[in-house]
Structure 1
Amino acid sequence: RGSDPDVGVFTHVDPVTHDIIVQDVTHLRKEKTGKGEVAKGGGKVTYVKGDDVLDNHGMKLKWTDFLISPDMMFVLFITDRSHQWRYSTRFNLWLYDLTTKKTVPIGGGPHYPAKTSAASWAPKGNFLAYVQDNDLYTQEPGGQPHRITKDGTRDIFNAVPDWVYEEEVFNSESVYWWSPSGTKLAYLRLDETAVSVYSFPIYNPDKWTTGLTTPYLTSTSMKYPKAGFPNPTVSAHVVDVAATPSLNLQKERLITEVTWTGADEVLLRETNRVSDRARLLRFVLSSEAILGKSVTGSVVRRDDGRTKLHLGGGWITAFQEKQPLGAMDLALQSTAYLDILPTKGGFRHLAFFANSSVEQPLFITQGEWEVDQLLHADLKRQRAYFLAASPTPSQRHVYLVGLPDITSQQTVSRYRIRPPIPLTDIHKPGWHSASFDPKGAYYILTKQGPDVPSVRVLGLDDPKFELVLQDNADLRKTLTRYVAPSNVFYTIEVGDKKDVIVSVREIRPHDFDASGQTRYPVLVNVYGGPNSQTVKSEFDLAGWHTYLATSLGYIVINIDGRGTGFRGRQYRCRVTNRLGVYETDDVVDAMREIRKLPYVDESRTGIWGWSYGGYLTSKVIQADSGMFGLGMAVAPVSKWEFYDSIYTERYMKMPSQNRAGYANSSVMISDGFRHARYLLAQGSGDDNVHFESSAHLLDILTKAQIRNFQFRMFTDSAHSISVRGAYRELHEFLIRFLVLNWGPGGLRKRSIEARMSDEERQKRDMEWVRREAAARAKEKRRASAGDL
C-alpha cells in the first residue's frame, strides 16, 4: 500500500439497505476469512446511506446504477432506465451531494418517459456531461446546465450514436470523450437526414400482455442505412468546457475511433465508406485553437487493407483499443500509447507508440497467436496485462509483458521483446477475464470455464495475497446430483490440400459410448460471421445445447471455419467480397470428416444457427452436399442488400462494386431445400435483421414449390425473440422439429428399417422420446437419491 490510500479500494452495494460501501481488499479478506492483516489506512465505511437518497417527494429513490465523482463529493444516480436498441437506453439522472445529503434531478427531470441517454463525470474535478434529446450538456454541481449543442433532433445526434454507429462501430450508448485533464470534450455529430426510413408494424404494443392487438396497427420507424444507400454524415468536434465555441475536427467518411493521448492532443481514425482504407489523424488543440471554427489534423499513418493480403485484400475492423499512457500522469507530458494491431504476419499483437506522431509501432508481443484485449497498463511497474487467445484459439489466458520506459527514448530504442508471462495456468484449458485495480496492486480474476466458474482477488505486489469472492461451492455440490455432458475440443484439416484448420467443440451426452455400438444424431451449431467465435472453453451447463445432449441424447458440435477470429488476418479475411462461400465449404468439409466417426449416425445429421448463423445454415442447405438432412435457421439474412451498410460494405464493398459477389452470397433456392428438411423462424419486430429477409425466403420457396419446411413468425419480437414468452416457445418449436425428424438420441445399431409413412415414423419417434424421457427421469431420481 505504501503512501497511497487508494490501493485496492472498491465499492459495493448492500442488497437490502442500498447503502454504498467503500472498502479495501485487505479488510474484506479479514472480514471473510479472519486471516491476514488489514493494511495501514485500510478499512470499511458506509459512503452513502440508501435512506438518505430521496426523490422530490421525500421517497427513497429507486436507483439502479450510480457514478461517483473523482473527488468523491457527489454521486450520480440513474433511475427509470429503459432500453432502446442493443446498447442505447433512456433514463432519469439525479445528483446526490454528500455534504448536504440532498438529491436533485438533473436536466429538468424527472421526465416520463425518460430523456437522458448518456452521462459521465470528467476524469478530474466534478464536471459532468450528459446527453438529453440528442443534445450535449455540461454542468457543475450547484451550477446551471450549459448546453453545448442546440441542433439535436430525431435526425441529428450529438454525442450519442445513431442505430448503425451504435450497432456496427462503437458498440456503445455514447460517442463523446473527456480529455485526461477534464477540461475538454471531444464528441461526434451524426446527421441522418439523408438516411432512408425503415418501418415495421407493431401488432400488440404491450411487451408483456398477450391479446392486445389493435384494430389499426402502430409501427416503428427507424433510420436504417442499407448497403449502397446513404449513410449518416459524421463530424468530430471538441469543446473547451470553460469556453463556449466548438471546434470542428473532421467531416467525411466513417469515424471509427477517437482517443485523447494528452491534455491537448487527439488521435482520430477515419476510414473510407467500405472500410478498406484508413487514416490516423493527429490534432493538437490549444484553448486558442478551439476558439476558431475548424482545424486540420496531420496524417500520422495510413492503412490500406486491400494490400494486406495476396488473397484479395481485407478490411479494417472498427475496434477502439488504444490505451494512452501519458494520460495516467499528465506531469510526464507524454503522448505514448498502446494499441492492438496486426503484425506483418497478420496476427494481432500489442503495439507500443512512443508518442502520438510516431508512424511505426514497436510490437511488444509476437507469435502465431492473437491478443484479444488489453486489460491494464501500469507505468509504475512498467507492465502491460492482456488477455490472449493462447495457447489455442479456444482459450483465454491472462499474461503480462514489460513496457518500455516512456520517459526515456533511449530505453525505448533498447527494448527487447521477451516472452509474456502467464498469470493463469496455460497447461490447463481455461477461459478467463480480469479486472485490475487502477493502482496496479490487485486484480480480480474470473475463471469462466470450462469447469464451474470462480472469482478471486489476487495480489501483484504480494503474490501470496488471495481472496476468494465466489467459488460456487453450492453449485458444485448441486451438480453432483445431476448428469452433465462432456466437452471435447479438437481441430479438423479441411480443403482440397487439407491446409485449412477448423476448430471444433463436441458436446457429448453424459452416457456417451464411443465404441460405435451406439450411433448418435449430430446437430452442428454455427455462427461463422467475420471475426466471431463459438468454439470456446466456457462453462455452459444451463444452455440449450446441454439440454439436447443430456435429455435427448444428441451430440452438438460448434464449428469455427474461415472468416472467424483469432487465427490471424489471412484466415479471417479470406471471406472478403464472398460472404457465405468459404464458410459453407469449411462446414461441409468438416462434417464430411465428422460423419466418419464410428459413433455418428450419418442418417441423422443437421445444422442450425441464429442471425449470421441462420444465414450460414441456409447457405449450407443450399449447397446440397448430402452432409446434412435438416437445417434450422433463426432470423437469417437472406440477401446482403437487405442488411445495414457499415457491416455489409466492410466485408462485401458496395453492391455497385461487387454485383457478382452479392449475387453469389445471397441465399438461393436449390435442390438442397428439397432434399433436406428446413425450419425458418423470425420475430416480426426485428430491428437488426429485418423481417423482409424471411419474407423474401418464403417468397422464393413458394415460387420453387418447395413444401417440406416449417416456418413460424414470433409476433413483435426483436432479434432476440423474447416478447411475451417467445424465447421459450422458439426453443420448443426447434425441439419438436428435431424430435419429429430424428426421434431419440443414441440408438444401438439395428438393421435397415422397412419403409414407413411420415405419420408412422412420427408416431414411432414420439413413442421413443416418451420412453427415453421416462428412463432419463428415473435415472435422475436415482442420482438425486444417492444411488449413483
Structure 2
Amino acid sequence: MKYHFTTLILCILSTTLSFAQKQLTLEELWSGAYQSTSMQAVNALKNSNQYARIELNTQNKSQEINLYDFKTLEKSKTIFSTQNHPSIENIDAYVFDDREEKMLIATHSEPIYRHSSVATYMIYDLQSKKIKSFTDRKISEPTFSKDGTKIAYAFENNLYIYDLQSEKTITVTTDGKKNHIINGISDWVYEEEFAVVRMFEWSLEGDKLAYVRFDETNVPEYSMDIYGNGLYPTQQVFKYPKAGEENAKVSLHLYDLQSQKSNTIDLSEFHDFYIPRIKWTNDNNFLSFQVINRHQNDLKLYFVDAKSIQKKLILNEKDPAYVDITDHLTFLKDNSFVWTSEKDGYNHLYHFDKNGKQLNQITKGNWDLTSYYGIDEKSKTLYYQSVERGSTTRDIYAIQINGTAKRILSKETGTNSAVFSPDFNYFILSHSSHTNPISYTLNRSKDGKLIKNILDNKKLIDKLELYQLPKKEFFTIPTENNWEMNAWIMKPKDFDPSKKYPILMYQYSGPGSQQVANKWWDSNDFWHAMLTQKGYIVVAVDGRGTGFKGAEFKKTTQNQLGKLEVEDQIIAAKYLKNINYIDAARIGIWGWSFGGFMSSNCLLKANDIFKTAIAVAPVTNWRYYDTVYTERYLKTPQENPSGYDDNSPIFFANQLKGNFLLIHGSADDNVHVQNSMAMIESLVQENKTFDWLIYPDKNHGIYGGQTRLHLYTKMTKYILENL
C-alpha cells in the first residue's frame, strides 16, 4: 500500500498528539472535574443494624432518606421523601431518637461558625408517617431524650425542653444574652479548638439534663466589617479571647425535670479552667466531666453524683507540654471505661475500672493510634486505626480488651478508614493511596475478608490517564537529633536529571498535623501537578512538631512555636538545593493558615535561600490568635513573651528580600485579617516591595462562587512570574 508523504506526516502527528500529556487547568480543577466520587455519609442505626443516608431521587427531583442493610448494602426502604412532605424543601440534616421511631429533620439552615448553625426543625414519626413542627424558631442542636419523649434545644443562648406527649415547652434557662451568657452551646473558642458545639447532655433515663454555662461578659470583642452589596457595611461583633486575655467563665449544671430546678456543681477550687467534655456514664446517676487547666497540661476526669451533687476525681492525666482532648472516652456496661493517652510516649488505648484504677494498657508499641471506632462488648473486641505500618499510612485493627489477639483488618497499603455496623460484624472500608483514588468495600470484621465491592472510582482513573499525572515519590530528610522528616516530591513528567528545575515547597507544619501521607490527592495536589506540567518540582516536608511519630516528635516545639518548624523547612531547602537537578536560586514556599505563618517566616529568616513565598490567611503574630490553641503550645504572652515575638513575622519585615504575596479574607473569624494588616504595615514602614490581596467578606476558607478559581489563578501567575 502506498502513502502520500503528507498523509504519513499527518498520521505520525495524530499518533504523537494522542499520547501527549493533557494539560490540567484551574477551570477544570475548581469545577470538580478531577474530584473522586465518595460514598455518602453513613448514619448507623443501632437497633436494626442498618444505615441511612440522604439521596436525590433524580426522577422526581426530591430528596430521600433511605435505609440500607449493613450485611448486603442493599436498600431496604425509603423512610422519608420531600415529595410527600412539601413543608421540607431541603433536608440539611437528620437525627434519629434512640428507639429509631422518630426523626428530627433540619431545613433552611444558617451557618454561624465552622461547626455551628441554626435551622428549622421538624419531628417526623416513622410509624404514622406524620410530620409536625414543635417550634416556629430557628434553633440549635435539638436532641432527643433517651426514651424519645422529649427534645432539648437551644435558642438565643437559652435552653428549652419540648415534651412530645404534653406538647408543652419547658424553659430551662432565662439569662442567655448575646455576647454575655450562653447556656448549653459552646462559645467561639470552644467550638473552634475543642471541636464541640452542643454542651448539654441527657441522662440515660431522660430525667436530668447536664449543661455548661458560659459567662463571656468580660471576654474582649472582635469586630468585622461585612461589606455586602448595600450602601453601608454592617458589622459582626463577637467574643474572641486572644492569647493572654480573659476567657469565658464556665460552670456546670444539672437540671432536674421533676423539680424543674438546676443545681450547680462545685468547681470553686479551680481558677481559669476549661470544661471541654461532659458525658453521662452508663449509670443514670453519674455524669462524667473533664476539667483542664488553662495551660492544658493537667486534665482531670470526674464523676458527679446527680443525687448528692458531689463530684469524685476518677483520673488525672498530666503532661509536661499538653494533654489532647478527644472523644474516645467509652463507658462499658459495668461503668469501666476505655481511654486514650500518650503517657508512654505514644497514643494508646487503656482500660480503667469505674473508680479510675488502670486495669491494663490495651495497645502498645512505638506507633500512634489515630482513630478509635468502639468496642463490641459481646466479644470484648476493640476496633481502631493506627500508623503501626508507618507514620504515612493508616490501617484498621482489632484487639481484645486484655491486649491479646491483635489482628490487622486492612490489607492494602495506603490510608484505610472504617465505618462499623452497630453489631460490629461488618465494616465499610475506605481505601486510597497516592496512586489510587478512594474505593469502598464491605468487609467482615472477624478477619477483614472482602464481602462486596461498593465503589472503585475506575472512571476517574481512566480519565486521569490522559493527564499522565506525576508520581509522588516518598523519602525522608535527616535533621538534628537523628530525627527523620517525612517528605514527598513531584517531578515533571518529562523530568531530565541533567536539567535544573525551580522548586516550590508546600507545608502546613502545625502541631500534630500531617501533609506527607500515603493517600489520594486533594485539590492542592492537582494544582501542584499542574505546576509540574509548567516545569516546576513540588515538595512537601513534615518537620518537627507534626504528628503521628510519637509525643516527643510532636511536642518538641513546645513554648517556641515556629522556631524548630522553620528551621526544619530551611534544613529541607538546603538539602534539596544540593541535589544537582534543583535550581538553588529558585526555591519557593507556600502555605495556608499555620502554613502561611511558616512560609512568611521562611522567606524572612532565610532570605538567602528562598526566592518567593505565598502566605494565605497567615497568623503573623500569635498574640492575635485565640487562647485555647495558642496557649496550649506557648503559654500566655505574659509568661512567654519571647516565644511569641522571636517567631512572629511582623518583627522581621526588615529582612524581606524576595517576592512575597500575602492573601487574606476580610471576614475571617478564625485568623483575623488583622494579622495581614499588621504585616502590611510592618512591611510598609520598612519600605519593602511586596504584593497583597484581600477577598471581601470571605472567611478562613476563602471560597464561594469563582473565588477559589481567582485565588489559584493569582497564585499560579505569581509563581510563573516570580519563581
TM-score interval w.r.t. the shorter chain? Answer: 0.7 to 0.9
Aligned twin of 2:7: none
Alpha-carbon distance in structure 1 between the residues aligned to 2:522 and 2:66? 33
Aligned twin of 1:576: 558
Q: Deviations over 1:325-350 (max 9, x none)?
A: 22xxxxxxx11111110132x11101
Residues 286-685 of structure 1 mapped to structure 2, 5 A cutoff: 286=307, 289=308, 295-306=309-320, 314-326=321-333, 334-344=334-344, 346-355=345-354, 357-360=355-358, 362-404=360-402, 417-418=403-404, 420-425=406-411, 428-450=412-434, 451-460=436-445, 466-495=451-480, 497=481, 499-513=482-496, 516-540=497-521, 542-543=523-524, 544-624=526-606, 626-670=608-652, 673-685=655-667
Aligned twin of 2:67: 22
1:255 paired with 2:275, answer yes
697-706 or 174-183: bigger deviation: 174-183
Residue 337 of structure 1 aligns with an amino acid whose one-letter code is F
Report the Cα offset of residue 243 of structure 1: 4.3
273-282 or 667-676: bigger deviation: 667-676
Report the Cα offset of residue 419 of structure 1: 6.7
| Greater relative CO (CA pairs within 8 A, separation 6+) | 2
Report the Cα offset of residue 492 of structure 1: 1.2
Secondary structure, aligned partner of 2:493: coil
Residues 698-709 of structure 1 mapped to structure 2, 5 A cutoff: 698-707=680-689, 709=690
Alpha-carbon distance in structure 2 between the residues aligned to 1:512 and 1:172? 47
Aligned twin of 2:24: none
Report the Cα offset of residue 464 of structure 1: 5.1
CA contact (8 A) 1:122 1:178 kept: yes
Report the Cα offset of residue 167 of structure 1: 0.5
Q: Deviations over 1:730-754 (max 9, x none)?
A: 2111111100023xxxxxxxxxxxx
CA contact (8 A) 2:532 2:538 kept: no
Aligned twin of 2:300: 279
Aligned twin of 2:214: 190
Report the Cα offset of residue 46 of structure 1: 3.4
CA contact (8 A) 1:510 1:549 kept: no
Structure 1 unaligned spans of 5+ = 30-42, 206-211, 290-294, 307-313, 327-333, 405-416, 743-788
71-80 or 180-189: bigger deviation: 180-189
TM-score w.r.t. the length of structure 1 is 0.80
Report the Cα offset of residue 724 of structure 1: 5.2
TM-score w.r.t. the length of structure 2 is 0.87
Report the Cα offset of residue 192 of structure 1: 0.9
Report the Cα offset of residue 99 of structure 1: 4.2
1:160 paired with 2:185, answer yes
Alpha-carbon distance in structure 2 between the residues aligned to 1:201 and 1:725? 22
Secondary structure, aligned partner of 1:620: helix
Residues 479 and 103 (structure 1 numbering): CA distance in 2 closer, same or farther, change over 3 Å? same
Report the Cα offset of residue 284 of structure 1: 2.3
Report the Cα offset of residue 673 of structure 1: 4.0
Residue 420 of structure 1 aligns with an amino acid whose one-letter code is K
Structure 2 unaligned spans of 5+ = 1-44
389-398 or 173-182: bigger deviation: 173-182
Aligned twin of 2:96: 68
Report the Cα offset of residue 233 of structure 1: 0.7
Alpha-carbon distance in structure 2 between the residues aligned to 1:522 and 1:228? 39
Secondary structure, aligned partner of 1:665: coil
Residue 739 of structure 1 aligns with an amino acid whose one-letter code is L
Alpha-carbon distance in structure 2 between the residues aligned to 1:625 and 1:420? 51
Alpha-carbon distance in structure 1 between the residues aligned to 2:122 and 2:473? 50
Residues 227-242 of structure 1 mapped to structure 2, 5 A cutoff: 227-242=243-258
Alpha-carbon distance in structure 1 between the residues aligned to 2:451 and 2:367? 30
Alpha-carbon distance in structure 1 between the residues aligned to 2:705 and 2:384? 41
Alpha-carbon distance in structure 2 between the residues aligned to 1:419 and 1:5? 26
Alpha-carbon distance in structure 2 between the residues aligned to 1:563 and 1:419? 33
CA contact (8 A) 2:666 2:695 kept: yes
Residue 129 of structure 1 aligns with an amino acid whose one-letter code is A
Residue 177 of structure 1 aligns with an amino acid whose one-letter code is E
Report the Cα offset of residue 566 of structure 1: 1.1
Secondary structure, aligned partner of 2:300: strand
CA RMSD of aligned residues (A): 2.3
Report the Cα offset of residue 402 of structure 1: 0.6
Secondary structure, aligned partner of 1:657: coil
How many residues are aligned here?
Answer: 666
Report the Cα offset of residue 502 of structure 1: 1.1
Aligned twin of 2:150: 127
Residues 560 and 243 (structure 1 numbering): CA distance in 2 closer, same or farther, change over 3 Å? farther
Q: Deviations over 1:229-265 (max 9, x none)?
A: 1100111122344441222225451112223222222
Secondary structure, aligned partner of 1:651: helix
Report the Cα offset of residue 445 of structure 1: 0.7
1:95 paired with 2:77, answer no
Alpha-carbon distance in structure 1 between the residues aligned to 2:300 and 2:432? 37
Q: Deviations over 1:688-717 (max 9, x none)?
A: 11111111111111121212x211111121
Q: Deviations over 1:146-191 (max 9, x none)?
A: 222222210211111111110112x133122233444433221111
